[in-house]
Amino acid sequence: MDQAIIIEKSIFIVVIFAITMLFAMYETLAERKLAAWLQDRIGPNRAGPGGIMQPLADGLKLFSKEEFFPNTPNRFLFIMGPAISMSTALITSAVIPWGDKLHIFGRDVILQATDINIGMLYVFGVLSIGVYGIMIGGWASNNKFSLMGAMRASSQMISYEVAMGLALIALVMMDGSLSLRHIAEGQHGWRWNVLYQPVGFLIFLVCSFAETNRTPFDLAECEAELIGGYHTEYSSMKMGFYLFAEYASMFISSAILAILYFGAYNYPGMDWVAENWSANASSIIGIGVLFIKICFFIFFYMWVRWTIPRFRYDQLMKLGWKMLIPLAIANIVITAVIILLADQA
């Protein structure tokens, strides 16, 4: 590989890392603000104008809190728990196409860390590793309630991953590729996948709520009905890492939702912009459009969180195994039949 590509990719990875971190940081503020507004309150407004410095203050507080270790059989694993959660949330962003090609310094810069043709499989592989972060954290806490919380959370994540994968198969069948960039490019103009796969989209949406452990599927961390969860024994920045991982994965899964079903960086009138202005202008607007879509999904995540109450655990499992999985399989069959008929016609 020539040196320029290595430098280009390194810079790109650092930028994406920074953006993900920044998003995760400010999602915490957005969450608190939005929760306040939806409940007719004002929300955090002490740190900086309108509370803009609140994430920094939260971080400072978490850093200055007491570092607590339970009498655990394996201290290394206890520290690894949040680290695994955090890293899995971050490395998913490697395959996400953040925009079309940019033409800088006489080179075509692809706005994606790596375009592998098994992008979707990679995302699922990494997501399933995320379960380990929770399971190890719960086990290493040396607390039976934490262990039960971890079991609850991981069984939920695993069962919703099945439906998520099945919902996606229909999409992959339509598109014929597992590469995220190929799927993104396939949705040129108004040809958004959500219009062709509405049921698949709904299943995928519900499952990504469950995957990121967000309400109404946040049984991993309800301290009111069930005692805390896998992170009961965690304190200071280790706890902060678990929360941070949740917000980072929320950003990433919003990005995946936007890319798979909502046209990624494509927008109507893209060709017109590329012809009349320049290709660069078109792809810069595309990046902006993608980020607007991501922000909308983040907003949606929070909006749902402050509207819908939690599921009971048996209801949650019933929804996952008895409703979503059969529905996803039916969706696959119907999609296959339609593709077959379209081919014959």
Partner 1 sequence: MSIETISLSGRKKEVSNKKMTFMESLYLVAIAKGLWITLGHLFTRKVTIKYPEETRELSPVYRGQHMLMRDDEGRERCTACGLCALSCPAEAITMKAEERKPDEKHLYREEKYASIYEINMLRCIFCGLCEEACPKQAIYLTKSRVMVKSNSNREDFIFGKEKLVMPLDMAINNTKPQMAN
**Residue ranges binding partner 1 (CB under 8 A):** 37-42, 45, 303-304, 306-308
User: To the nearest whole angstrom, how small is the minimum distance from the Cβ of residue 208 to partner 1?
Assistant: 16
User: To the nearest whole angstrom, how small is the minimum distance from the Cβ of residue 206 to partner 1?
Assistant: 11
Q: Which residues contact 8 (CB under 8 A, 6 or more apart)?
A: 107, 109
Is 334 strand, coil or helix? helix
Q: Which residues contact 59 (CB under 8 A, 6 or more apart)?
A: 25, 240
User: To the nearest whole angstrom, how small is the minimum distance from the Cβ of residue 328 to partner 1?
Assistant: 16
| Pick 272 or 299: Cβ nearer partner 1 | 299
Report residue 278 as tokens: 């320049």
Q: How does 292-328 read in b/e, with b if 16+ C-beta sit within 10 Å?
A: ebbbebbeebbeebeeeebbeeeebeebbeeebbebb
| Pick 56 or 308: Cβ nearer partner 1 | 308
User: To the nearest whole angstrom, how small is the minimum distance from the Cβ of residue 325 to partner 1?
Assistant: 16
| Pick 35 or 279: Cβ nearer partner 1 | 35
The identity of residue 17, as a single letter, is: F
User: To the nearest whole angstrom, how small is the minimum distance from the Cβ of residue 40 to partner 1?
Assistant: 5
Look at phi and psi of residue 40 and say left if phi exceeds 0, alpha if psi is from -120 to 50, else beta.
Answer: left
> What CA–CA distance (Å, rounded) separates 234 from 58?
16
| Pick 10 or 307: Cβ nearer partner 1 | 307
Q: Which residues contact 224 (CB under 8 A, 6 or more apart)?
A: none
Looking from the CA of 98 toward its CB, the CA atoms found within 13 Å total 22
Cis upstream peptide for 216 (omega within 30°): yes
User: To the nearest whole angstrom, how small is the minimum distance from the Cβ of residue 342 to partner 1?
Assistant: 28
> What CA–CA distance (Å, rounded) separates 237 from 19?
20
User: To the nearest whole angstrom, how small is the minimum distance from the Cβ of residue 36 to partner 1?
Assistant: 8
| Pick 191 or 312: Cβ nearer partner 1 | 312
Is 107 strand, coil or helix? strand
User: To the nearest whole angstrom, how small is the minimum distance from the Cβ of residue 308 to partner 1?
Assistant: 6
| Pick 40 or 67: Cβ nearer partner 1 | 40
| Pick 37 or 63: Cβ nearer partner 1 | 37
| Pick 112 or 215: Cβ nearer partner 1 | 215
Specify the DSSP class assigned to residue 102.
E
